[in-house]
Every structure is written in structure tokens, then in C-alpha cells.
Structure 1
Amino acid sequence: MGRGRSFQVGGNAFAVVLRAWARPIFLILLLLILFIFGTVIAVFAWPQQATASVSGIVTDVDGPVAGALVRVQTTANHTYTDEDGGFTLQGIPTAESVTLVAWAEGYIFGWTEAIGGDEEVGIELHPHNRVDNSVYDWEPSENCGECHPSYSEWQRDAHSQSAVNVRFLTMYNGTDVEGNRSRNSNYYTGLPRTRDPDDPYFGPGFKVDFPKRDGNCAACHTPMASKLDADNSCGWNGCHMQETSDASDELPDGVSPNEAVGVAAEGISCDFCHKIGAVTFYTDTVLPDPAMPGILSLTLYRPKSGEDLLMGTVDDVARPKDSFNQLHRESAFCASCHYGVNDTTEIYNSYGEWLESPYSDPDTGQTCQNCHMPEAPRLTSGMESLVQTAAWLEKTSGRTLPAALGKLAERSQRSYFVYPEKGGLFRNLDQIHLHQMPGANDEQFLRSAISLEVAAEFEGTELVVNTEVSNTGAGHHYPTGSPLRQVLLVVRATDNGGEELALVAGEVLPEWAGDVAGLAGQGYAKILRDTLTGEEPTFSHWRMVELVEDSRIPALSSRKGMFRFALPNGESAQGSDEINIEVQLIYRRAFQQLQQWKGWTDPDILLASEAFGVAASTAE
């Protein structure tokens, strides 16, 4: 029987035919036909619907609510209520109803249906919970994945791994990846033990230095690991030794990242972020209080049992217990965990670096979210039709489309932040923010923010190589965050026989650069010294430390270098063979010595490179 006749009684005949014919060439042809058909329809658009205005009032239990936002759901059509709570919206269809959603600060969304011409439409707002319930049971993020495409993106985000990150846990516990542990250092006594070179050593660790304290790591890495109040400074900072807490009815236990199990092992979850209501900043600065890291500087709105509250960036959600929060659109949302101070020494401060950069300009700048949670990629109208057609074809055929066609179908879900089969509404892509949050774990993202320029010339008996490394796209220093990170510029010049030319002037990479130490180049890093032991660089940032140097590249800034190499046998350029130049820009997640102790296997990332030959004829 021919393919086109394989019908089944009681089945979907079209789907059966489609399965048989759903091979790449036929899929492509069908896709093109449907695309052309959709374009024709768009050109000869349906007649304009008749519209009229809608007026009404927004109230709460006490009466009218002034200044409330009222929006036609999923559209740009919106207004604000006057001092009497009244509003009027123009351009509302008279033939079919639309959803009007209202919101005001401190309230959950209210909504109603209306058609053009309606008057005296009423929308009632109810205040959301303003008291944090610390014994709230956090929701697993997989529950969110039932309806939200962003769940799979979050799973690829470093925030979802903050509680189980092997670098974090081995640094916290003083172990290597195999679980071998370094000896306690006695650091907490003020007289740290000198490390015996014959003693097995698996790198530093907070618990090696402070075995009876939990520290404050959990305040950022595992904030769901305790039922403590969010402002319980002693508990979240892990101030007291375990014996002290056990002997007191008033002093709380600390919070150990090692005890993060279940939902707490999700690190920074969907539910945690969408319960954040406010960030508290230190009265003397525009930064959080240095003594209140992470959760301690956050106002959480965890509801009572049986209730719920979720806040986010979309201001027209017709769902019970949801609310809009402007903070979620602002860099301030990130501040409490991306600013860390030990005593008076700043350890990391990505938020403060952004504040001091041109990117923080409210009119021309970019927020953290603009780069790390960007709007979904915008499609042209024609491309959007193609994407939606691919999604329909995949669903109808019951098969995953091959290669690029499958990618098109996958992108169709980014027009929704709730799956359409779960009631999600088609939205403009600027309302949908990607949740994989690229950062130090994304090579392409790292490369996109940095540039390398190289030029070379002969001067007498020397070859001069000029370099310029520019932070072109990061809204903070490059690198940023953990002081373990570094970027290395490595400059090599060799003759035709592969022999390296001697460097006669210019910087060389420091000892901490590991396998490239001593080579021509520059290191961009934040170097700290242990105040008690003099170790430099120190990796134990929880100890008393002091800043030695900060050679990282601020936002929209550059670092230039000049390196002079002696030509072979003291020849001049005219008597020299072609010289080969290779310049590499390398991103290293942690100091090589530390990686060896811990057994970390993160490879170097080549950010940029230039390789070329220079002969006398091209250098003049």
C-alpha cells in the first residue's frame, strides 16, 4: 500500500500521512509552503476590529487605589488610576473581551474581563503578605518546570549548582575532590601551624581553619538550608563555636552548607528568588552592609501555610497570589550576594564595580539582568512565522524535527513564559528573560566581553610587540567575582627554527601564573596576602587578608603592553628572517597550584589569540 494510503479507522489520517512523509526534504518544502501562506495572510490582513474605550475604578478594602497600573494583558496598552482610583483605556475591541490586569505596590494582581464600551468596570486589589514566615517549606524547582520553559534553563545556570559546586565544597571543607582532607591549621587560635612539607596537603579550607564554626558561606550558597529568620545575624554568620551554641538557649546554631539536603541542595532556586521583596543597603554607602551578606540583606516574603506569593518582572499576570516587583528588573537585586567583605578588605564586589562603571547610568546603561538574563532573542515577523510553523509541524507529526528545524521548534516556546498547553499566553519576547544566566561557565559569553589587539614592528636589532586588551562588554571588572579567577596575556616570539627570542624589555608573568610564569605577558587578577602568615597570593579569603594588587580591567577600560625581543644573533631587521609572533589571552578559573591541590580539572579557556609572521619587508 502506498504511503499516502496508510489510513487508520478512528485515527488522525492527516497525522498518519505526515509521519510517513516527515523526512527532511518534505518537511522543508512543507515548511516553506506554510511560511509563504502565512506571509500572504499577513499582507492581506483581516479588517480592523471596531474599538471603544473602557472606564472603571480600582479599589481595595479601604476604597479607591490611586496610581495603580491597569494594563490590557500581554499588550502595551496601559494607564494609571487617578487620585479617585479611576481609569480609562482606549482601543478596546467591542466584539471580544480582553483581560484587564491591575497592580499597585504592595498588592497582588487583580483582573477582570471587559469589552470596548464597558463603563464602571471594577477591579479589586488585595495586599500581599508583608511578614516573612521563616518556617516556610520551600517549593522544589521541578514543580515550576511543569509549566515554565525557563526551568531547564535554570538547571544549566550556576545558581542552581551553588550548593553542590565542587570548587565551593572542597574549599569550604579543606578537601580534594576525592574527599582527602588537610590537617587542621590551628588558625582560629591566632597561631596558625606552619605547614609541614612532608604532610599530605589538599589545599585550604574554611573548616580546616575554623573546625568548630560554620561561617557565613550558607548565607549566599545555601540560603534555604535553615529555618532561621533572614535577619538572624549570629546564625547566618556562624559567629559562635558549636559548643557555645549548644550551651545556650538563645544563641542559634550556625548554618552549614554540608547540611543542605532536599530542596536546600538546589542552592538558589526559583522559589527563593521569586520570594525576594527588597534589598537593604548600608546607610553610609550604596552597598549592602558588609556584615550582612546574602540572605541577611534580603527582605523575604515567605507566606503562611496554605498561602503563596511569587514576584517577578511581568506586570500583568492574571493569577492568584502573584505580584510585580520592580526590584527584579534592577541590578540591586543581585547586590547582597555579589559583594563580599572580610573585616575591612573587599574580597569581591561585582555589584560595586558595576555601580562605578558607565553601565550604571540609568539613562544609557545596562543592568546585570540585561547581560545575564537577557530578553529572549527577538525574531523578525517572518522568522516568527517560520518558528511557530516548525513547532506546529513537530507537535502534529509526533516526531522531533531534524537538526536546524528542531532548533526552530524549540525556540517557539520562548514566546511564552508558561507553556501554552498550561494556559500560557503568547507574549512579546521583551517580556521573557532567559534563565541560564551565562557567566564564568560560558566560554562564548566570556569571549564576547573582551578584545585583543596586537601590532609588531622592528626597531634596530629588536622586535617590538604592542598589545592592548580591552574590557569591551562586561559591566564590571574583567575578571570579576572570586579572586581565584585570572586572565593571562602570553606573548611569544620565535625565529624560523622555533627558537624563542629573548625578552629584553617588558613585563613577565608572575610566579602565580603557573606553567606560563616567566614568559612575556601580563596577568589580570586580584592578589590578596594572608596578614598573619604572609602567604601571597592567599586562597583563604576567610582569613585576615590584605590587598596586594588589583590588575583586573575595569568596564570599558584597556591594558596596554610593550614587549621588546632581541633579534637572533643581534641582527638588524634587514638581516633577519621572518619572526613568528603568537599572543594568547587565557582565562583561568583558579590558580594552578590550587587546582593541583584540589584535583580540579577545569581547563584553561582561550579567550582570544593572534598569530602571524613579521619580516623586514612588512615591518618597515
Structure 2
Amino acid sequence: MTMKGFLRLVAVILLVLLSGCTSKLTPVNTFTLSTTNTSNTPGLSSLGNHGTISGTVVDSLGAPLSQATERIQATTNQTLTADDGSFILSGLEDGVAITVSAWKEGYYCAKYESAKPPVVGIILKMRQVQTTDNANYEWIAPIGDGSCYSCKPGVTQVWLDNDAHGKSATNIRFLSMYNGTDVNGNQSPLTQYGNSPDYGAVPLLPDLSQPYYGPGYKLNFPNTAGNCAACHLPGAAIDAPYDTDPNTAEGVDTFGIHCDYCHKVADVKLDPATNLPFPNMPGVLSQIILRPFSEDKDRYQIFFGSFDDDNVPMEDTYLPLIKESSWCAPCHYGVFWNTVIYNSYGEWLESPYSDPVSGKTCQQCHMATPTLLNGETITNVAPGKGGVERDPKTIPAHTFQGASNLELLQNAVEMDVTTSRSSNRITVTVTLVNDKTGHDVPTDSPLRQMILLVRVDDTNGNPLDQVEGFRIPISGGVGEPVEGYYSGWPGKIFSKVLSEIWTEITPTGAYWNPVRVISDNRLKALESDTSTYLFKSPQDGNLSVNVKLLYRRAFIELMDQKGWKVPDIVMEEKQIDIH
């Protein structure tokens, strides 16, 4: 054979060999793939298994994991592994590359990319998440280099634009209450104490002959920090919950309850007898936080999130708790001096909304999907950074709509107004129904008020005299109604009223002192309130009835002391003309 003939023969042999080769798929946290029968999947082959992918899920030592969730990423096509760790996903299109994900509680997510059905023998290897916390971990800032914004700009921007949690450390109302100052930094005199033969030192009433800018924790306890930071800046307080002064916040801690902190919450500590946090254990004191170990190649980062098919399996895992109301409990239930101060979680727990079948979670209302940024729907959490296109209904909005959200407040309750007129009387009946809110209205901070105002004007626009019915109490403010001082006006205030035990200051927001609940007439979930107002009416002439429901951040005396310029929000308003 000539040299040319020999080379031709070699070329033919190489072509035959190469034609039998198959391309390899790219696994992540996985190994072993076959499109034919293998020892991992006995009895299966690509022939006769069109539109399927099968395989096994194992731990880092190769032991099979049962009840792990397998999913075609970003779809609802999912299954659970059998006792031997095996699974089959079907209903797929042959030859179309997809990503298979796996998750099991206590493990990081895992995935297998570019699998083209039919495929047999995929093995997804899962790593356990850490079970200990690293106190030396440095929090990741929401913005800046290497920040949350770097990978998830859209979701982070929505959070920055809307969420009060991110401002909890710098909120001027919080800081002025903590420090006993007004918004300009003027501080009230320190609290003076008298002596009780039975109880020792007790606080005295403030001396109002001196400039007074309202109460403050630091006025009563100037040499301690308290546990306010446990809720308002928990990332800073995690290692010193009773010794973190909010005034010292800097860097990432100025973002209060920031992204990295929330996504490190692994569990919450609740009393099994009540399903509530334990008394005097607010915020971080009732949370289990797992900060990662940067030097550990297998556990250098961890983010607990809402996807069980996350695209960064080296760092992310799914936490079912993050979709449950109990996740919110530590900062939305507070007991101090044996008095329940705020309790939106407990109110939800007692309401029909807590029913696991027919109810709603906190997240479904306060993080309602879809997520909108500048009017556009977000469908990819981390575009260009490993994120995938998802159903927008699976991406919770990080708006955390709350007490400053107009739309939320105007959809909180329903108001119905009826009128009747006799020869010299007009009757106005107002019914309020808490038909859309899963807790009391208003809720949490006892400073908050919902104010119902009823007014009837004659033809000349003059208000008619009230004959019977409720009137606004003194906490509505003494002064001109046009300036928001409604004491004595026809109507009601719905609020939880606290009174300080020693000074008897009522109402008060100084619940760092011993207080008691004087009254609580807030509207509970799905309950109603009906009130009737009788006015002296002229024999004839047109009348105008105006009924307005306002939301007020705090009772007006305190707002004046602190210099809080927060306008009331109109929740409902009805105008009825009577001819």
C-alpha cells in the first residue's frame, strides 16, 4: 500500500470513530449522564422514553436523598424523589435543552444544565447548608460594588424606592422617639424621678414650664441602649441586642433591615403553646440567623429565598418559611412590661386569614405580585447574572406596602353611609367594615389612629349642631379643625390607647416605661362598627353630608412636640346631598 493510500485509510477510520461520539452535557453540582441504559437507572434507556428525564439525587457522600424536589427550572413541572433518590420528569420535548433543578430542606439548590430529552442517568449532587453562624461575617450592602444591586438591580431598586424596612434605622420618627428630641435635634430634659415607699424610684411628670419635645427612651434610660435595635437595625444588634445604640449606625447598618440580613434568617423562635414569639424577645432575639463562612469553599455564602430552583446553587437555597406569616412574627409582636404593645402577627393569627386553605399570608398582601419597576413587569430577578425568565406571579414585590401606602390604606376597609331626615332632625349612620385587612385597623404602633369625621352643612355651608352621637376625644387634638384638631367634632377615633402607670400620661407612646391598655376599639379582621349621629336640622333647605375616614400616624399632640409633618391620609370619603 502506498503512503497516500495508507493516509486515506486512516482518515476513513477516524471519521467512523468520530461519528460515534456524543457531545457531553455540562453539569453543575452533578456527575454522570447517559442517554442509554446505565447501572444508575436499571431497565431504562433512551428508546421508548421520549419526553422524559430520569436520574438520582444524592448527598455529598453519594447517599440517595428521598423526598427531594426536582423541577424543570422556572416551570411547574416537578416531582419528588423516591426512597432510593430516583426521579422521572416527563412531558418534555425531545431534543430541547432544559435545566433540571433539585432542592431538599437543609441543602443548597442543585441543577443540571443543557439536558436534552430523552435522558437517563442524571445524578444531582447536593451539599448541606451550614448549621452554625459566623459572627465574623461582614454584611453585603444593598448598593455599591459587590452589592445586591450588582446582581439584582430591578428587585433591589423596587425595595429602595418603596420599603420602609430599609429606612428603619434612619426613620426620623423612630430616632426622635428614641432620643427624646424633635426632628431638629432639640432634646427634652431628662426624666426626673421621685421615690415611692413601695416601689422605689418612679418617673415624674415632665416639667412643661421648660421646652419639651416629647418623650424618649434616652430620657428615661440615658446610660443604656435598650433593645430597640433588635428590630430597627438587627444586623448591627445581632451580637449585642441590648447594647446597640441606633445613633451609632453606619455603613450597611444604615439600611436597617436590609436585603442580606433578611435572606440570612433561617428560622424563627416561637412559643409552641401560643405560636407567638416569647415576651421581651423582639426582632433578632426571636430569629435564627446563619451567616456564612467565607473561607469555606462549600459554604462561602448562603441566601435563603423563595425559589427551589435557584440558578446559583453554590449560594442559594429555598426556605418555605420565607413565604409564611410566621417569618414576620419576631418584629410584629412585642410584649413589654407584660403588656402587648404591637401585635399585627397575633391579630392575623386569631383571624380567619390564618386558615391555611382559605386564608392569606402577610406576604400575599404586602409583597403582592407582580413586581413592577417604572411600570414594567420584572420577569428576571438577575438578568445577565445567571437569572432566568420566570412567571411574574412567582416574583414577590419587595415593596412591603404599609402604613404610608395610599392604595393599601384606601383598600383596607369599606364605609357605608345612610341618612334620614325628619322635620327638625337629620340622622347619619356610618358602618365601617374591615373586609380586606388580615389584622386590626390600625395595627402595630399604638401611636396610630383611624379618625372618622361626620359633618352636616346647611345651605350656607355652616355646620349643623350635633344633638346625639359620638364625638372625637381630646386625643384628636384641641384647636382648629381646618388644621387637623378635631376634638369635640362629631365622629370617632379607632386606636389602641396606652397610659403610663406612674405618670398616667394618656395616650402615650413611651412603652419602654410600664404602661397599661386603657381602651382598644380598633376594627378587627372581618368585623364592623356602626355609629349613629343626630343633628338639629332646619325645616327646609338643602343639606350636605360629608363623612371622612382618615389615617393618622400618631396622635397630634405628640406630632406637634416632635415636629412630625406627616399629613393625614384619606382612606374613605362619602358626600351626600339632601334636597
Is this a same-fold pair by TM over 0.5?
Answer: yes
Answer whether contact 2:50 2:94 (CA < 8 A) is retained.
yes
User: Which of 376, 379, 382 does residue 411 from structure 1 map onto?
Assistant: 376
Q: Which residue of 1 aligns with 2:210?
A: 199
- Which structure 2 segments of 5+ residues have no match? 1-48, 195-199, 478-484
Answer whether contact 2:329 2:345 (CA < 8 A) is retained.
yes
1:191 Cα deviation from its structure 2 partner: 2.5
User: Which of 517, 522, 536 does residue 547 from structure 1 map onto?
Assistant: 517
Q: Distance in 2 between matches of 1:312 and 1:487?
A: 35
Q: Distance in 2 between matches of 1:537 and 1:184?
A: 20
2:361 matches 1:367? yes
Q: Which residue of 2 aligns with 1:141?
A: 142
Q: In the TM superposition, what are the counterparts of 1:203-602 in structure 2 within 5 Å?
A: 203-226=214-237, 228=239, 235-236=240-241, 238=242, 254-306=243-295, 307-319=300-312, 320-376=314-370, 411-412=376-377, 414-419=378-383, 421-514=384-477, 515-568=485-538, 575-602=539-566
Q: Which residue of 1 aligns with 2:569?
A: 605
Q: Which moved more, 1:99-108 or 1:497-506?
A: 497-506
1:430 Cα deviation from its structure 2 partner: 1.8
SS of the residue corresponding to residue 597 of structure 1 reads helix
Deviations 1:230-256 (A, max 9, x none): xxxxx42x3xxxxxxxxxxxxxxx111
Deviations 1:482-523 (A, max 9, x none): 011101000011211222211111110100011111011011
SS of the residue corresponding to residue 95 of structure 1 reads coil
Segments of 4+ in structure 1 off by > 6 A? none
Q: Distance in 2 between matches of 1:556 and 1:512?
A: 26
Deviations 1:430-484 (A, max 9, x none): 2111101111111121101122111110134211100011212111111111011
Answer whether contact 1:360 1:367 (CA < 8 A) is retained.
yes
- Judged with a 3 Å threshold, the aligned counterparts in structure 2 of structure 1 residues 226 and 346 are, in CA distance, closer, same or farther, namely closer
Deviations 1:24-54 (A, max 9, x none): xxxxxxxxxxxxxxxxxxxxxxxxxx95211
Deviations 1:135-162 (A, max 9, x none): 2110001111122111011112100000
Q: Which residue of 1 aligns with 2:172?
A: 166
Q: Which residue of 2 aligns with 1:125?
A: 126
SS of the residue corresponding to residue 130 of structure 1 reads coil
1:272 Cα deviation from its structure 2 partner: 0.5
Q: Distance in 2 between matches of 1:350 and 1:64?
A: 43
CA RMSD of aligned residues (A): 1.6
Could you tell me which amino acid in structure 2 is paired with residue 56 of structure 1? G
Q: Distance in 2 between matches of 1:497 and 1:357?
A: 46
Answer whether contact 2:447 2:508 (CA < 8 A) is retained.
no
Could you tell me which amino acid in structure 2 is paired with residue 59 of structure 1? V
Could you tell me which amino acid in structure 2 is paired with residue 498 of structure 1? G
Could you tell me which amino acid in structure 1 is paired with residue 54 of structure 2? S
Q: Which residue of 1 aligns with 2:91?
A: 91
- Judged with a 3 Å threshold, the aligned counterparts in structure 2 of structure 1 residues 226 and 489 are, in CA distance, closer, same or farther, namely closer
Answer whether contact 1:92 1:115 (CA < 8 A) is retained.
no
Q: Which residue of 2 aligns with 1:393?
A: none
Could you tell me which amino acid in structure 2 is paired with residue 159 of structure 1? H
Q: Which residue of 1 aligns with 2:56?
A: 57
Greater helix fraction, Structure 1 or Structure 2: 1
Q: Distance in 2 between matches of 1:70 and 1:173?
A: 52
Q: Distance in 1 between matches of 2:411 and 2:189?
A: 42
1:123 Cα deviation from its structure 2 partner: 0.4
1:274 Cα deviation from its structure 2 partner: 0.5
- Judged with a 3 Å threshold, the aligned counterparts in structure 2 of structure 1 residues 590 and 187 are, in CA distance, closer, same or farther, namely farther
Q: Distance in 1 between matches of 2:237 and 2:505?
A: 35
Deviations 1:269-324 (A, max 9, x none): 11001001101101331100112110011011101124100011111013112100
Deviations 1:541-584 (A, max 9, x none): 1110000111110111111110011123xxxxxx3212221111
Q: Distance in 1 between matches of 2:205 and 2:558?
A: 18
Answer whether contact 2:108 2:128 (CA < 8 A) is retained.
yes
Answer whether contact 1:187 1:209 (CA < 8 A) is retained.
no
- Which structure 1 segments of 5+ residues have no match? 1-49, 229-234, 239-253, 379-405, 569-574, 616-620
Answer whether contact 1:136 1:227 (CA < 8 A) is retained.
no
Q: Distance in 1 between matches of 2:415 and 2:274?
A: 35
Q: Distance in 1 between matches of 2:526 and 2:237?
A: 41
Could you tell me which amino acid in structure 2 is paired with residue 542 of structure 1? W
1:259 Cα deviation from its structure 2 partner: 1.2
- Judged with a 3 Å threshold, the aligned counterparts in structure 2 of structure 1 residues 178 and 449 are, in CA distance, closer, same or farther, namely same
1:110 Cα deviation from its structure 2 partner: 1.2
1:93 Cα deviation from its structure 2 partner: 2.8
Deviations 1:87-130 (A, max 9, x none): 01112332132111111110001111322121111000000111
**Residues matched between the structures, number:** 507
1:196 Cα deviation from its structure 2 partner: 2.0
**What TM-score, normalized by structure 2, do the two folds share?**
0.85
**What TM-score, normalized by structure 1, do the two folds share?**
0.80
Could you tell me which amino acid in structure 2 is paired with residue 548 of structure 1? I
Q: Distance in 2 between matches of 1:224 and 1:194?
A: 35
Deviations 1:342-363 (A, max 9, x none): 1211100000000111111100
Could you tell me which amino acid in structure 1 is paired with residue 175 of structure 2? L
Could you tell me which amino acid in structure 2 is paired with residue 544 of structure 1? P
Q: Distance in 2 between matches of 1:377 and 1:227?
A: 30
SS of the residue corresponding to residue 490 of structure 1 reads strand
Answer whether contact 2:238 2:284 (CA < 8 A) is retained.
no
Q: Distance in 2 between matches of 1:526 and 1:261?
A: 34
